[in-house]
Every structure is written in C-alpha cells, then in structure tokens.
Structure 1
C-alpha cells in the first residue's frame, strides 16, 4: 500500500511529501497517523544531525483540500471521528512547526481547512500561481483545527483571519502574497525548483544561528521589548561561542562564501 506521506532525507535536506493526490491529499485518519509517524522520524533525524532543513510539498495538482468530508458523511458521529483524528494531526503540526531548523512549504492548487495549517506551519511558504486558499470550516458548520486559527491570526491579524474564516471567500496566490500569507509566488512549473534551491541554501547555513532566529521571531509577539532584548542578548552570546560564528566572521574578512559545519539543536 502506498504510504500517505513520504519522507526522504538526502544531504541534510528532508523532503516531506503528502502522497494522496487522487484524494487531493485530504487529512483523513490514515494521513494523520502517517503524519505523526513521519514527524517523529524527522525529529529523531534532526537531533542526530542528519537534517538541517525541511521541504514540505504534495504530489498532484492540489496541496491539501482539508478534512475528509466524505468521511464525515459516512459516519453517524462526526464529533467522535474528529476527536480521534485531530490529536495525531496536532502533535505532528507542533513537531514540524517547532523543529529548530528551517521549514519551507511549496503550495500549489487547493489549500483549504486543515491544509492551511499544514502549509502555514512552515517558516517560509512559497506558492505556485495555481494556489487558492479557502477557509471552508464555517461553510460546513465546523471550526478551525490543525493550527489554522493560530497561523492566520499571527500572519494577517485577527480581523483578516476572521474575514477569511467567516466568509470562506477564496484567495488566489497574488492575494495571499499581498496579505503576507506566502513569501513568494512562482509559475507552477517553477515552484519546486525554487523551493528546492531555497531549502538547499538554508541547509548550508549556520544551523544554530537559524534555530535562534526562528525561536526569537516565533516568540516575539508574546514578549515585552525588555524580555525580547534579554533573549536577543542570550542568543547572540550563545551564537558567538560557536565554530560557525568564527567561520562566518573569517569568511567575511576573506571575502569568500562561509563553510558552515552546522550542529543539531535540541527540539522545542
């Protein structure tokens, strides 16, 4: 049986690929269990120093259409089905979002419901021109899961997040770029090459530095300025003690590209 999610690790780049194109990569029970299994493997590989960047993508014309609505129709107890399906998805999203390495998602086609949370848990989101984001939850009487309410609010603010989730009006790739939901838009046939180039470049970066950047940015909204300044102080001192900092400074003086060794950082 073809696995719902593929994990491939080569040259310190991990590629996580949603692998149910015939079902628009919907988040059913099998996908949820596969997701948590894959992210556990990914976290172990990262802690061992085998992963320095992650690329999250999907096979087929659609990244992820969201929840398995056919599964909802087929059950007499939607609440119990959701209660069983959501925990592994949430555990997987938390693991992926808090990995202390850069995570890049490459999004094409439909992006709806929980698929939004999967795509937006990445540090950087690249979109193909075919991308179309639609909330979808309230249209079928449900509410957000998979971190969707957190990601949308963080990226576009409470009012725009509620507009997306109340009205279910689709946003195309250009609108998502303007709203700050994605970092770049590419022609569909250029999306994966651009994402591959970015993730390989990040994997060559100073792993500890990137981990500290990620932590500082992700936590900034919950800190006062004084708290954030204190954490920046600690982070800079920790960074300054690394071999990568010494290499980066010397490479700058030598006017050459740095050769960062990287080092695994503990998972959050």
Structure 2
C-alpha cells in the first residue's frame, strides 16, 4: 500500500446526537475511489444507535470532484473497473437514501460527477455560495452514475437536466438553490455553523416521523394523489401510535416543549 492508501479517506466522530462523516482526501478533491466508496459505506453502516442525525461534510477546498479519472486511465479493463466502482458507489447512495435517521450535508467548493448524486441523495443540503456543481461526465465520454441523472432530473426537470449534461454545463450555487437541488444557500464563512445548527435542530425533533415524511416526499413525484393519500393515512396513524407522536401530543396539551429524545 502507498502512504496515500494507508491514510483514511473518511473520518467519523460522535458529536452528541450527531454522527459526523467527513470526506478526508483533500489532495484529490475527495475523488471517488474504491477506498472512498468502501469507507463511506462502512461509515453509514457503523452509525452508533444513539445518534439521531448524520452530518456529511468534506475537508479541503472541494467537496467531491467525482471519479478519480486517472484510475480509469490506468485500469487494464476500464469497463470492469468503472462498473465495479459504480456498483459500490450505488450501495453508498442507497445507504444515504435509506438511512434510519435524516442526513444533512454541507457542501462547498466543487461538486462534480458522482458527487452530485451523493448530494442529491441527502435529505437537507446546505450549500456555500461560491460552490460550483458540474456533472462533468460528457467531458470524459461517460454517461452518469451515482444517481446523478435522478437528482438532476428531479430538481431541474428533463429538458434542463439534459441541457446541463449534454453541453457539459455547470450550475452555480444560486442556480442549484433556485431549482431545489440544494435546500439552503449560505455565505462560505457561515457554512460550518449553519450546517451544524441545522443538524442539531433536526436531532431535537421526532426522528421516526421525519423518516416517514422523507418517504412520503420522495414517492410523491411518481404517485397519484389517491396513492399518496392512502400512504399518508397509514403513516400518520403509525406516527400517532409511535411514542414520538404520543409525546408530541402530550406536550402540546401540557403546553411544554416535547422531549422526543426520550420517546421510546
């Protein structure tokens, strides 16, 4: 192993209710490699039970520049190598999508390629104002992976998503915010503070109800209203029966702040 391979690509830390996951290969722009995919999947799988939200950030000037193109060039069988890497990365995306607690991300610098799909899978994304977002696949003759086509089409609509990807275009942070790819836009110097604040606010809330809400929102775009109403009725009943719901109702009646952390 080289010294670079010996160095972890992902850092994890428990910070109260928050499970911090930090991409930490700044020299490569946190480029997607088999190591990064493996360690990021392990980080989500290893979330301690007591934590109530995942906070995803990155060290260095760029959040994630997408795939490590040099490794593609060096591969003896590029199709097999890239296909295997895409498979492993898609397991990471699924881990984010189906995480048992909400996932908050703070992004900055550059977000490209598979990094766009990672951002699109998170629940709440806080974006620094100078961030640039670029699919970048067309520049190397690739089609998208990592859920990037899903995230961009969902936020931009098919015509604008195709225009962006077929012309190798980019989005400013303001455009990403306007179209809904990211939830909030903040000044660069406020990114860390705001992201941590949002993560802690969410950790204070009814986490299981939030996960049900996430499921409803994600399915809404592909369902009829009738289907959505049926699902809402089922999930609100589950929420009402859940200790979180019971605590929330009691707190409302008793005119006090709810204690969702201890609602088991």
Whether TM-score is above 0.5 comes out as: yes
- List aligned pairs for 1:227-246, cutoff 5 A: 227-246=227-246
Out of 4, 11, 14, which is 2:9 matched to? Answer: 4
Q: How many residue pairs align between the two structures?
A: 259
SS in 1 for 2:251: helix
Higher relative contact order (CA 8 A, sep 6+): 1
Aligned position for 1:23? 28
- Distance of aligned partners of 1:248 and 1:263 in 2 relative to their CA distance in 1, 3 Å threshold: closer
- Distance of aligned partners of 1:230 and 1:166 in 2 relative to their CA distance in 1, 3 Å threshold: same
Taking structure 2 as the reference length, the TM-score comes to: 0.93
Aligned position for 1:131? 131
Q: Give yes or no for the alignment of 1:152 onto 2:152.
A: yes
SS in 2 for 1:50: coil
Contact 1:35 1:88 in 2 (8 A): no
Q: Deviations over 1:216-267 (max 9, x none)?
A: 1111222221111111111111111122222212323344322113668xxx
**In structure 2, how many angstroms separate the alpha carbons of the residues matched to 1:192 and 1:68?**
26
Taking structure 1 as the reference length, the TM-score comes to: 0.91
- List aligned pairs for 1:1-268, cutoff 5 A: 1-42=6-47, 45=48, 49-261=49-261
**In structure 2, how many angstroms separate the alpha carbons of the residues matched to 1:69 and 1:53?**
32
Contact 1:126 1:184 in 2 (8 A): yes
| Aligned-residue CA RMSD (Å) | 1.6
- 5+ long unaligned stretches in structure 1: none
Contact 1:207 1:262 in 2 (8 A): no
**In structure 2, how many angstroms separate the alpha carbons of the residues matched to 1:75 and 1:259?**
53
Contact 2:12 2:19 in 1 (8 A): yes
CA shift for structure 1 position 9:
2.2
**In structure 1, how many angstroms separate the alpha carbons of the residues matched to 2:184 and 2:44?**
25
Contact 1:32 1:86 in 2 (8 A): no
**In structure 1, how many angstroms separate the alpha carbons of the residues matched to 2:223 and 2:100?**
19
Between 219-228 and 24-33, the greater mean CA deviation after superposition: 219-228
Q: Deviations over 1:28-81 (max 9, x none)?
A: 121122122222213xx3xxx322111111001100001101112223432121
Q: Deviations over 1:123-179 (max 9, x none)?
A: 111100121001110121001111111111122211121112111222111111112
Write out the 4+ residue segments of structure 1 that deviate beyond 6 Å after TM superposition: none
